[in-house]
Amino acid sequence: MYDLIIVGGGIVGLTILKEAIQNSIKVLLIDAQEVGKSTSYAAAGMLAPINELEHGEEDLLFAGIKSVPFYLEYEKILGDIGLNRNGTLEVALTAQDAQYLKREFEYRKNLGLNVQWFNKNELLEKEPFLSPNLYGGIYSDSEWQVDNRLLLKRLKSWALEHDAEIIEYQKIMDWKFHKTHLSVSSINQTWDTQNLVFSMGFVPEELFPLPYVVYPIKGQMLSVKPNEKLLQLEHVIRFKTRTLGNGYIVPKLDRIILGATNEEMGNDKNITAGGIMDILRKCYAAVPTIYDLEILEIWVGLRPSTHDRHPFILKAHQKNVFYMNGFYRNGFCLSPLFAKNFIKLLKNQELDFEVKNFVKYL
């Protein structure tokens, strides 16, 4: 009998697993495929509560600001996770974008955020490979990134080293409430537990009915091979453009990620010429030398989104059944804080005030 079974080993399930181990909870994580190979694998690993901020989403901002520094603790216990603290430059590609970005800058300043406005020359001093045609931009030094794929790998191996149980390639089809405990079943096995959390990201309703709506937002991305002669980047580069749409360039040690589309296409995971063309066009406008870089990989992921784009921890009253989902474009940014608070909820402890409003009850 386990104290806790986690169904789903993306970043959400794996961060819960880490916290459970650190709280001496007897825990089992079950995944339908290899752990960490779903949407979390497809992400860019930006920890960007400020750059992801939309007006009216200040609750997400403050949750993100509280969550991101936990990665220092992650780095300490897991070792190298590709944590890069150089910060993020959000650049204006046109005069119109600059007007928009300046308003965003004022808005962020008024919220007390640590942001600086850089003119073109200051931007080029920070990142010489940026296009000389830019119109200025915002620098945020607290917007970090991790290597999402490395982090997922490290979380899994750290958990196994700490005697956690992980079962892969077992799709959970059903769960039951018994008098004294709960059970979950795959096609040929059943496991008993006192508490159960579903952290399955997006799953089509016909495959696993759930008591909430989480729908997929498709993100196409690609990576190019670093080549120091053609491109050196220290920071994450982002842009929100009126003409070309939003995008980013995220330098990792072994790849440079160019992203991403944001499409409402249901369960469709096709990679399209138009999607990749859009990404390349805007990234090329910001950093022209990507033109000659070798393409490494092209992929697609489905961001699990709720109608209001807010994540949640949902507790089924009295039944010790929880759901943690809806992390949309912020799974890496928010998971450390939410996982800590999930354990607090499990132990009936006081929740952090930044998370309270994201906790719902059935």
List residues near ligand FAD by CB under 6 A: 7-13, 30-33, 38-40, 42-46, 171-172, 199-201, 203, 208, 219, 221, 259-260, 301, 303-304, 325, 327-333
Token representation of residue 240? 């929100």
Closest CA to 320 of 143, 224, 192: 192
**Closer residue to ligand FAD in complex, CB, 32/237:** 32
| Tokens at 92, concatenated | 């204006």
106 or 205: whose CB is closer to ligand FAD? 205
Q: Are 194 and 320 in contact (CB under 8 A)?
A: yes
| Closer of 98 and 346 to ligand FAD (Cβ) | 346
Looking at beta carbons only, is 136 or 259 nearer to ligand FAD?
259
Tell me how far, at minimum, the Cβ of 163 lies from ligand FAD, in Å.
21
Q: Which is nearer to ligand FAD, 136 or 331 (CB)?
A: 331
Shortest Cβ contact with ligand FAD: which residue? Answer: 10
Nearer to ligand FAD, 136 or 311 (CB): 311
- Measure CA 44 to chain center: 8
- Pairwise CA distance, residues 303 & 96, whole Å: 29
The CA distance from 86 to 74, in Å, is 18
Provide the minimum distance between the beta carbon of 329 and ligand FAD in the complex, in angstroms, as a whole number.
Answer: 5
The strand pair at 190-198 and 245-251 is best described as unpaired
- Minimum Å gap between C-beta 4 and ligand FAD is 15
Which among 144, 167, 170 is positioned nearest to 156, based on CA atoms? 167
Residue 312: partners with Cβ closer than 8 Å, 6 or more residues away: 212, 306, 323, 324, 325, 326, 358, 359, 360
Query: What's the min distance (Å) between Cβ of 229 and ligand FAD?
Result: 27
- 3-state SS class at 302: strand
Q: Which helix (H) or strand (E) holds 53?
A: none
